[in-house]
Amino acid sequence: MDAAEELVRAVDRLVDRVGHWPPSRWAVAAGTGDRSRADVVHALVQRLADLEAGATGRASRPVPRLANDLALPDQVRVMTLDLVAAQAPPAVLDAALDAVTVAQHEL
How high is the mean pLDDT of the chain?
96
Q: Which residues contact 47 (CB under 8 A, 6 or more apart)?
A: 96, 99
d(CA 94, CA 72): 21
pLDDT digits (tens, 9 = 90+) for 74-84: 999 999 999 99
pLDDT digits (tens, 9 = 90+) for 19-66: 999 999 999 999 877 899 999 999 999 999 999 999 999 999 999 999
3-state secondary structure the chain: CCHHHHHHHHHHHHHHHHCCCCHHHHHCECCCCCCEHHHHHHHHHHHHHHHHHHHHCCCCCCCCCCCCHHHHHHHHHHHHHHHHHCCCCHHHHHHHHHHHHHHHHHC
96, 7 Cβ separation under 8 angstroms: yes
pLDDT of residue 3: 94
Asked if pLDDT for residue 1 goes beyond 80, the answer is: no
pLDDT of residue 72: 98
In this prediction, residues 64-74 reach a mean pLDDT of: 95
d(CA 77, CA 57): 21
pLDDT of residue 90: 96
- Full-model pTM: 0.95
